[in-house]
Amino acid sequence: MRPENYSSLKSASKVSFAKSTDGDGHEIIKLTEKRYDTSTGVAATDVVREVNVSDYEYEKARCEDEKSRVEAKIAGLASIITDIKAL
């Protein structure tokens, strides 16, 4: 699942998260993704996998760092453009 599609997939009830426990009684989080045969539209077997919130937190932090770098680059380019146009 691509995170940028999460809200629309959630609204369409095509993805969901659920808390569960493993064999040792430890809490786990499962992501269920609905699948469909693209040629027929018939429901296929759902994909269920264990996920960790820390993985999503890490990815979010990485994207925020990248966003900061891109915003700094944009600001620099805007300054260059302004200076060139002022010639």
Q: For 10-25, how does the pLDDT look when each residue is reduced to its tens digit (9 = 90+)? A: 999 999 999 999 889 9
Whole-structure pTM value: 0.74
Question: Cα(81)–Cα(75) distance, rounded to whole angstroms?
Answer: 10
Domain ranges of the chain: 1-51, 53-87
Scanning the structure block, which residue is given the tokens 């499962």?
30
Structure tokens at 55: 């993985």
CA angle 72, 4, 49 (to 5 degrees): 125
Per DSSP bridges, beta strands 15-21 and 47-51 are: unpaired
45 and 57 Cβ atoms separated by less than 8 Å = no
Q: pLDDT, tens digit, for every residue of 27-55?
A: 999 999 999 988 888 999 999 999 999 99
